[in-house]
Chains A and B, each alone.
Chain A
Amino acid sequence: MLTEEEKKEIQEEIKQYPYPAVACIDALKIVQNHRGWVSDESVRDIAQLLSISNEEVDSVATFYSRIYRKPVGRNVILICDSVSCMILGYESLYNYISKKIGVSFGGTTSDGRFTLLPISCLGDCDNAPVMMINNDHFNRLTIEKIDELLDRYK
């Protein structure tokens, strides 16, 4: 069941479009914003609200990299693995973080604190290497900065 708040936010998005199905991506993002990820049940609820099939919603949900169809941790670490960050050594950052929190790309820590994912170019290549934690952007990263940075996210 979508909450009243989620429904209200989705209806608000629908208003700017010629028909409800256009709000599909917005709806997925709204649900994910409230719940961290998009479950099968949420896919069905969104489909019903937008008057389209479950499959249509799922085809959209599974296409976009930033829609999570599996539960993620409380904090999502996104390390840029694109070429400029590769040249400036993202791999050593990844190795350090991966070892520190004990999961590889795609993994979530057992306490649910972190999920570690790669992301393609974050558009800040002159300040490589770069990563995001949740909606926060960090650049010119060094291993020395990582411990303090991760400590901020509980």
Chain B
Amino acid sequence: MERPLTKHIKPGSVSLNMKDYIQLGGYGNLQKALKNIAPAEVTALVKASNLLGRGGAGFPTGVKWSLIPMDGDKSTPKYLVCNADEMEPGTFKDRYLLEGNPHQLIEGMIISAYAIQAGKAYIFLRWAYKKAEKILREAIADAYKSGYLGKNILGSGFNLDLYVHSSAGRYMCGEETALLNSLEGKRAMPRTKPPFPAISGLFGRPTVVNNVETLSWISHIVEHGAEWFKGLSLTPTGGTKLFGVSGRVKNPGTWELPLGISMRELLEEHAGGMTPGHKFRGALPGGASTDFLIEDHLDVKLDFSTVAAAGSRLGTGTMIVLDDKTCPVAFIHNVEKFFALESCGWCTPCREGLPWVEKMLASIEEGTGKMEYLDLLNFNAKFMGPGNTFCAHAPGAAEPLQSGLKYFHDDFVKHITDKKCPWR
């Protein structure tokens, strides 16, 4: 089984430095692209590979790039932004790539910037990733010294400056347009779309925003081609994916596996099954903003379309497992409290709905909830759903809520009728 993204990352060891990366052929694909491939051809290659965005939404990367106007005035600045604001509860995959193989990301970013002819690139890094920040800053300085960044890169005439922006905390920064506002030094509020960032992004200029894992693929696709990439998955989508599991499992962790492996295989073979004395009750398959899947779904293939068909989302691919010793109401309350606190407050369903949901869940958990809350919670889940809000924050929060109310209905009712949490 191929593991292109992580084969040089050894868990617990130091990150792959410039010298070792180059010894493994690193930056060779950048040379190949700059010398032999026209920018539009790089975009066509990524489009042909069908690389779907690894940040959670699964939008085709090549399509995103192809929306950038390429015929405009050459002096108009364009930007590439790497979204490294990994803050979705239960998600820890980008940290692994950032700390383990920073040059893979940097090389991918230079090639991507070349494809869209961006002159400046930013890595928007979450505040808490202090180790990754240090590693990235050192790696970028090394790349400058070797002529992979700066003016006239490898004699190609292509210029690129790459900066790290360490954030000041707020989940909302992970939303593409909110991230751009934050990078401009403003509050991280989402922007109206259209115009999409490809037309009017950072400082009103054409901008591509891609996730760490997505950008880490680019040099590999340049090296091996689109067909190779497509052949890596068990489903037709293409590529491997970083999957992760947290919760009461024997061996929590992150693994690079082909898209399309089953949830059962991830949980049992890689995560080692449940911790002794704990039973599986369900899981959020791709971070806190995805719908619960339960035992009936264990044979669902983990790919964007197949998880969607099962009523959830692949999201970030990092799974949070609910066991029988953890109260599902407390679990859902914890998640909704997070979303309520992190709402930017811009639109009503999110600003008003989430704190209301959080309060009702808290009172059910404490044993003071009423039966009518269940209808109100369902009402709010619908009201916060897609089409009613400004961005994906509240619809994401609605997912574990609506599915939790469905799958753990009896547990909610028992809290209300017994006037206490059965787990406490």
Contacts and interface: CB of A to CB of B under 8 A. Distances in A.
B335 A66 contact: no
Contacts of A122: 128
A25 B185 contact: yes
Given A21-B185, A126-B254, A86 B331 contact: yes
A121 B341 contact: no
A65 B253 CA distance: 28
B92 A120 contact: no
Contacts of B341: 120
Given A84-B320, A123-B92, A18 B185 contact: no
Contacts of A87: 246-248, 320-323, 326, 331
Contacts of A136: 130
B185 A83 contact: no
B413 interface: no
Given A25-B182, A63-B187, A120 B168 contact: no
Contacts of A66: 127, 167-169
B325 to A, nearest CB: 9
B212 to A, nearest CB: 11
B244 A64 contact: no
Chain B interface bracket (under 10, 10 to 19, 20 to 34, 35 or more): 35 or more
A47 to B, nearest CB: 12
B203 A83 contact: no
B88 A125 contact: no
B185 A120 contact: no
B136 to A, nearest CB: 15
Interface in A95-145: 119-128, 132, 135-137
B334 A137 contact: no
Nearest to A118: B341
A87 B89 CA distance: 12
A84 B246 contact: yes
A121 B42 CA distance: 36
B300 interface: no
A82 interface: yes
A28 interface: yes
A63 B170 contact: yes
A77 interface: no
B128 A16 contact: no
Interface residues of A, number: 39
B131 A137 contact: yes
Nearest to A50: B185
A128 B187 CA distance: 30
B357 to A, nearest CB: 15
A120 B130 contact: no
Q: Among the interface residues A17, A24, A119, A120, which one has the most CB atoms of the partner chain B within 10 A?
A: A120
B252 A126 contact: yes
A123 B98 CA distance: 12
A120 B171 contact: yes
Contact of B90 (A84, A132, A135): A84
A125 B331 contact: no
Q: Among the interface residues A29, A63, A87, which one has the most CB atoms of the partner chain B within 10 A?
A: A87
Interface in B184-223: 184-188, 203
Contacts of A119: 128, 169
Interface in A16-45: 16-18, 21-26, 28-29
A59 interface: yes
A60 interface: yes
Given A60-B185, A82-B90, A83-B334, A124 B95 contact: yes
Contact of A29 (B131, B168, B184, B326): B168
Nearest to A128: B246
Interface in B274-291: 288
A83 B168 contact: no
B169 A64 contact: yes
A137 to B, nearest CB: 7
28 contacts: A17-B185, A22-B184, A22-B185, A25-B182, A29-B168, A59-B187, A60-B187, A63-B188, A64-B167, A64-B170, A82-B288, A83-B320, A83-B334, A84-B90, A84-B247, A87-B248, A88-B247, A120-B89, A121-B88, A121-B288, A122-B128, A123-B91, A123-B94, A125-B318, A125-B320, A127-B252, A132-B128, A137-B130
Interface of A: 16-18, 21-26, 28-29, 59-60, 63-67, 81-84, 86-88, 119-128, 132, 135-137
**Smallest CB-CB A-B distances: 9 pairs:** A125-B246, A64-B168, A66-B169, A24-B185, A126-B252, A65-B169, A82-B89, A121-B89, A84-B246
Interface of B: 86-92, 94-95, 126-131, 161, 163, 166-171, 182-188, 203, 244-248, 252-254, 288, 318, 320-323, 326, 330-331, 334-335, 338, 341-342, 344
